[in-house]
Structure 1
């Protein structure tokens, strides 16, 4: 089975920290997914702040096998921040869906529910979600062919 993985890094980072006080283990996920098929595409979408710890983390993702896609961190004048990858993730999923049998999305963001419905209906493929149970939108869980709760086996 050909698998494509799309990681909403900011969402997974903050939900794991909020729920468990721990970080997500991307290597454990990679090993888990590799047992059920061949990972042919893996993208991790993150915000670039340029700090040393973040650069080490991005290098670790690349070493595992992820293509790391970065957007600049933008601080608005009102103090709020911008750094959203939803459109980029959506485009990449839609461009990849015809070439794989399984899409795996790491996110709890309910904005992706329409995307999962679309790829399941149009391409007849599995569209699975890994997310923190109490912080994943129910609409996203319902749109997925399978929901995999992030638990201690996927945490550092």
Structure 2
């Protein structure tokens, strides 16, 4: 059995699914699609913590599915801008786990991860698979991966149902 690491950029998936489809991601279905028959060595969902109850429920759902939820505080700057992404943390975790897995699955459309995907393949021999909202996933990331899966169809929840939303 192959070993797989799942790295999910929750903020990216939330905003791209909302923008493209006015939907949320179906995380239980996403888990199934990412794992297949493989053994999960690491499953992390990276999110920003605003501390509200709706977010806590959503984070509980992610934990119940099997994800370790990694949180960073939401930072509002004095000038009105905000900060909160996990790009460096995701990249560090991917490089750290690469020697111990056969596959790394990255759920994000962020083109900043293209170089990471390329390096994981070249230097660690990992198969890199990307899940993202097709119209909002960077072409460079798709090209750098061994395989791309579009988040659509049953990987989405219509607004009335669902596994919460992380905003």
TM-score (norm 1): 0.97
Q: Which contiguous aligned blocks of 4+ residues in structure 1 show a shift greater than 4 angstroms?
A: none
The answer (yes or no) to whether the contact 1:45–1:70 under 8 Å persists in 2 is yes
Question: What does residue 125 of structure 1 align with?
Answer: 126
For 1:95 and 1:11, how far apart are their aligned partners in 2?
A: 22
User: Does the residue aligned with 1:36 lie in a helix, a strand or coil?
Assistant: coil
Question: What does residue 64 of structure 2 align with?
Answer: 63
The answer (yes or no) to whether the contact 1:33–1:39 under 8 Å persists in 2 is no
For 1:116 and 1:36, how far apart are their aligned partners in 2?
A: 22
1:87-126 matches, cutoff 5 A: 87-126=88-127
Q: Any gaps of 5 or more consecutive residues in structure 2?
A: 158-167
The answer (yes or no) to whether the contact 2:6–2:34 under 8 Å persists in 1 is no
> For each residue in 1:4-24, what CA deviation from the matched residue of structure 2 results, as whole angstroms up to 9, or x when unmatched?
000000000000000011101
Q: Any gaps of 5 or more consecutive residues in structure 1?
A: none
Superposed CA RMSD:
0.8
Larger RCO, structure (CA 8 Å, separation 6 or more): 2
For 1:128 and 1:147, how far apart are their aligned partners in 2?
A: 6
Q: CA deviation at 1:63?
A: 0.6
For 2:63 and 2:57, how far apart are their aligned partners in 1?
A: 10
1:14-33 matches, cutoff 5 A: 14-33=15-34
TM-score (norm 2): 0.91
